[in-house]
Structure 1
Amino acid sequence: MVVFCFLVDQTRKIKRTKPVAGSCSRCRRGASVADIVTTTRFCYVPICWRSHKAIICTFCGATLKTYS
């Protein structure tokens, strides 16, 4: 009997943020534009990097809108 076990995980890092006018629709606190890098790893080897921009809440961390 052969059993395969693979570990796949995904990490999200915020590189830089910049405040924007407006507020979060959930908690009514401030929002900011962030450059986000998402890395997908398979058995501890990074196989995919994706960089995108998103508007996130500075208080609750909710993602309000993403841009490619």
Structure 2
Amino acid sequence: MWLVWVCKEEENELGREKAPGSCPYCRGKVEAIDVEGQWRFCFLPMCFKIKRKYFCTLCARRLELNYYAP
């Protein structure tokens, strides 16, 4: 059995901006990064998404936004 990897995800950074709040680990500033992601299957685009990721500028950790609805 021979398996060939033909799927690939590409990410391009669209922009950066300051986000409100501070890092819960080191109290550094938080930065929001808009990322454009695209899945390709044999060089054909299959899925296209724009995501927002949050990072700490001091400790470089990836932060997640947890929202709990009442």
Whether TM exceeds 0.5 here: the answer is yes
Alignment size in residue pairs: 65
AA aligned opposite 2:48: W
The aligned residue for residue 19 of structure 1 is 18
Provide the C-alpha distance between the structure 1 equivalents of 2:24 and 2:56, rounded to a whole number of angstroms.
9
Deviation at 1:6, TM superposition (A): 3.8
The aligned residue for residue 10 of structure 1 is 9
Query: What is the root-mean-square deviation in Å for CA atoms of aligned residues?
Result: 2.5
**Normalising by structure 2, what TM-score?**
0.62
Secondary structure of the structure 1 residue equivalent to 2:27: coil
Provide the C-alpha distance between the structure 2 equivalents of 1:13 and 1:57, rounded to a whole number of angstroms.
19
Unaligned 5+ runs, structure 1: none
**Normalising by structure 1, what TM-score?**
0.63
Displaced runs of 4+ in structure 1, greater than 3 A?
none
Unaligned 5+ runs, structure 2: none
* Structure with the larger strand share: 1
| Identity fraction in percent | 20
